[in-house]
Amino acid sequence: EPEVTQTPSHQVTQMGQEVILRCVPISNHLYFYWYRQILGQKVEFLVSFYNNEISEKSEIFDDQFSVERPDGSNFTLKIRSTKLEDSAMYFCASSNTGGRSPLHFGNGTRLTVT
Amino acid sequence: DQQVKQNSPSLSVQEGRISILNCDYTNSMFDYFLWYKKYPAEGPTFLISISSIKDKNEDGRFTVFLNKSAKHLSLHIVPSQPGDSAVYFCAANPGSGNTGKLIFGQGTTLQVKP
């Protein structure tokens, strides 16, 4: 079964540094998402992306965050200047028809900001 | 933000018995609900969904019931198996069009004892 793949599985960075989290969504999917889960908290929506533009973003997704689909297969989340509170598990997801189809999640990237 | 609530952090059942996981929501505009299962070090895996036009959806051992007047849904697993031991998340689409944004509950950890 096709799956969403994320790299790296664990990223450690120092506060203030830029990080790029990478995802390869399922190949025929058209909608792409980033979610995060801070340890002990809920899974939270960050951003949705369709047709090469952001379709919705949460309050968490401020100017420090950006997303990009640089080619036909990758989908990236960039955090420009990481803060300690950005430490979380970041999940990429994709779906083929958006809001009324299930999201398929990757196994996540654990980001640790020191 | 308590729009989707899973009030039981954990549940333990015997193999072969029924597992019932509960979820409450606060916003009557929510119109599509999903259950996800999550194993440690993996991303959430889609289990089953239900649209607000239905009150029941069944897929094998999994049945989701929706009570719109009570703003309550439940997931029944019959019979429960040890491999079902995982964290179960209830999620709701807040009716925000086709963006695929989901609001998650806190999760319930299910342990199925052999």
Alpha-carbon gap, residue A106 to B5, rounded angstroms: 24
B-chain residues near A99 (CB < 8 A): 32, 93, 96-101
DSSP string, B37-88: EE-TTS--EEEEEEETT-SEEEETTEEEEEETTTTEEEEEESS--GGG-EEE
Q: Do B42 and A99 touch (CB under 8 A)?
A: no
Q: Would you say the C-alpha torsion B29, B35, B40, B43 has a positive or negative sign? A: negative
Which residue shows structure tokens 């399922």?
A: A26
Of A43, A50, A107, the CB nearest to B104: A43
Q: Is A104 helix (H, G, I), strand (E, B) or coil?
A: strand
Indicate yes or no: CB of A98 within 8 angstroms of CB of B107: no
- The answer to whether A27 and A72 have CB atoms below 8 angstroms apart is no
Residue A100 three-state SS: helix
pLDDT in tens, B7-39: 999 999 999 999 999 999 999 888 899 999 999
DSSP strand pairing (A104-105 vs B45-51): unpaired
Per the CB < 8 A criterion, the answer to whether A58 and A44 are in contact is: yes
**pLDDT tens-digit map of A25-36:** 999 899 999 999
Q: Do B43 and A105 touch (CB under 8 A)?
A: yes
pLDDT band at B1 (very low <50, low <70, confident <90, very high): low
The closest CB to that of B43, out of A31, A98, A106, belongs to A106
CA triple A9-A13-A16, angle to 5 deg: 140
pLDDT tens-digit map of A68-106? 998 878 999 999 999 999 999 999 999 988 667 889 999
Q: What is the pLDDT of residue B96?
A: 59
